[in-house]
Amino acid sequence: MRPQSPNSYQQALVAKAREIAQARLAARADHHDREMVFPKESLQDLSEAGLTASLVDKAFGGLGLGHHRGDILTHWLIVKEIAKADMALARCFEGHANAMLLIDCIADDAQKARWFEGVVNHGHNWAVWSGEPQVVKPGQKQRFGTYVKETTDGYYVDGSKVFCSSAPGADWAILMVSTKGPGGARHATSAQDLIMLACDLRDPSVTVDDSWWDPMGMKGSVSYLVRFEETFIPKENLIGTPGQYLHEDWQTRFTPQYTATFLGGAEAAYEYALAYIQKQQSQQDPYVQHRIGKMAIHLETCRMWLARTAHLWETGEIQEAKLAGNSTRYLVEQLTMEVVNHAIHICGARSLIRPSALERIYRDLSFYVRHDNDDQVLAMVGKANLGVAHDASFFHAGKEDRSARGRASL
Ligand SMILES: Cc1cc2nc3c(=O)[nH]c(=O)nc-3n(C[C@H](O)[C@H](O)[C@H](O)COP(=O)(O)OP(=O)(O)OC[C@H]3O[C@@H](n4cnc5c(N)ncnc54)[C@H](O)[C@@H]3O)c2cc1C
């Protein structure tokens, strides 16, 4: 089956995101990048337009999009429009959306009522924090990771996480932590012991450390280090059951969304190059023609893979959707990096001098694609096609598929 064309409602939602992105969000991107500040006003704009509730059930006042509701493409296209204006902001929006999807699909009705009310009526921002990389990099003095102690009433979380997007501005975060020790979801030693806890970030035992965050790009995602000092989280804030996140491959629902952000950045780079060519009047240059031709084909390929992946989710072809999403993740990284490289070749050195959207996109994209290791993503796609056991969520070499089904292939 081929993906269907979007209906007028879907088109209107994406058009609304585009309008806000072009009229308001794009102008703030440079400030978020230079000052490394939380994109508060931009998220407020998106909230007032109802877009931060895109994945919230209509019964709770949301837009009711989602993989399981027959429309995830519209949400991904909204992410793309936001990323076109500001990739770092899109990361904050993505993290919030991931939390909404988990609550919408896994949380109980009382939790939904409690938390969605805050999002829909008060503009609360959410995040999902797993980041506990276990490999110590050269020069790194402290180890990252959390320890969890369970009591009859709840859990005590102690330790640190990094890459906590929206850290200084989020109201709530879903913490991916393990009762078996550090590692988060990505480096979990035991899938069964990974739990999801909704943490109210007003708790004084939670502190953010911005000194850790001095990256080359995605600066405005303010993905700081966060410390938890015996942070108590009541049992009523446990989302789903232990192990559910990895057993049900939830990460595979999020992976294609990252590619929407890559693609938004690359589309903006393409438009930057077109404007530059117009100024230079270099349309007749054969090298420019070749590079623009490749860029256009690459971008169209990315859009087609994203739409195909969405269609598979929307029509319930779940195993195919997971594989298509991971293939999309691999392909879109390669093609969008090439698109940006072509843009730089067309525009020259001055395009890499601030203020230049292309300069920022180059840094943001180069950094953000390292969210996963594309060598391992590609190996996973190979394994799936060979019928070999694999990890569809985090692509770990040597780790088998962590789903409860224990399938040999997707
Ligand atoms: C801008 C940005 C924002 C992010 N925001 C969030 C967020 O909000 N929430 C969140 O949970 N996460 C977030 N992530 C973090 C992300 O989920 C990863 O945890 C992070 O990229 C890991 O950092 P790393 O690559 O340095 O570490 P590692 O995971 O340690 O990887 C380093 C390298 O070593 C490889 N490697 C690691 N372990 C092994 C092994 N055992 N054998 C062989 N190779 C190995 C990896 O493939 C990689 O190439 C964000 C990432 C970025 C870039």
Instruction: Note whether 263 and 364 are same-domain residues.
Output: yes
**CATH label of the domain that carries residue 193:** 2.40.110.10
Q: Residues lining ligand 1, judged by CB closer than 6 Å?
A: 91, 95, 127-131, 133, 135, 163-165, 186, 218, 221, 223, 367-368, 370-371, 373, 376, 397
- Residue 281 is classified by DSSP as T
> Which residue among 136, 330, 371, 399 has the greatest number of ligand 1 atoms within 8 angstroms of its CB, and so is best to mutate?
371
* Residue 356 CB partners (closer than 8 Å, separation 6+): 272, 350
Burial class (CB in 10 A: 0-12, 13-18, 19+), 300: exposed
Instruction: Note whether 237 and 257 are same-domain residues.
Output: no
One pLDDT digit (tens) per residue for the chain, 410 residues:
667 788 999 999 999 999 999 999 999 999 999 999 999 999 999 999 999 999 999 999 999 999 999 999 999 999 999 999 999 999 999 999 999 999 999 999 999 999 999 999 999 999 999 999 999 999 998 899 999 999 999 999 999 999 999 999 999 999 999 999 999 999 998 899 999 999 999 999 999 999 999 999 999 999 999 999 999 999 999 999 999 999 999 999 999 999 999 999 999 999 999 999 999 999 999 999 999 999 999 999 999 999 999 999 999 999 999 999 999 999 999 999 999 999 999 999 999 999 999 999 999 999 999 999 999 999 999 999 999 999 999 998 765 555 544 333 32
Residue range(s) defining the domain that contains residue 187: 145-243
pLDDT, averaged across the chain: 95
pLDDT for res 405: 41
Cα of 386 vs centre of ligand 1, distance in Å, is 26
| Domain count of the fold of the chain | 3
Q: Whose CA is nearest to atom 48 of ligand 1?
A: 373
**CATH label of the domain that carries residue 74:** 1.10.540.10
The conformational region for residue 357 under phi > 0 = left, psi -120 to 50 = alpha, else beta, is alpha
pLDDT for res 4: 74
d(CA 166, CA 88): 10
Q: Which of 243, 277, 311 is the last residue of a domain?
A: 243
- Residue 403 is classified by DSSP as S
Instruction: Note whether 117 and 28 are same-domain residues.
Output: yes
Instruction: Note whether 54 and 180 are same-domain residues.
Output: no
Instruction: Note whether 238 and 290 are same-domain residues.
Output: no
Cα of 373 vs centre of ligand 1, distance in Å, is 8
Instruction: Note whether 151 and 112 are same-domain residues.
Output: no
Q: Whose CA is nearest to atom 21 of ligand 1?
A: 371
Evaluate whether 156 touches 179 at the Cβ level (below 8 Å). Answer: no
Q: Which atom of ligand 1 is nearest to the CA of 371?
A: 21
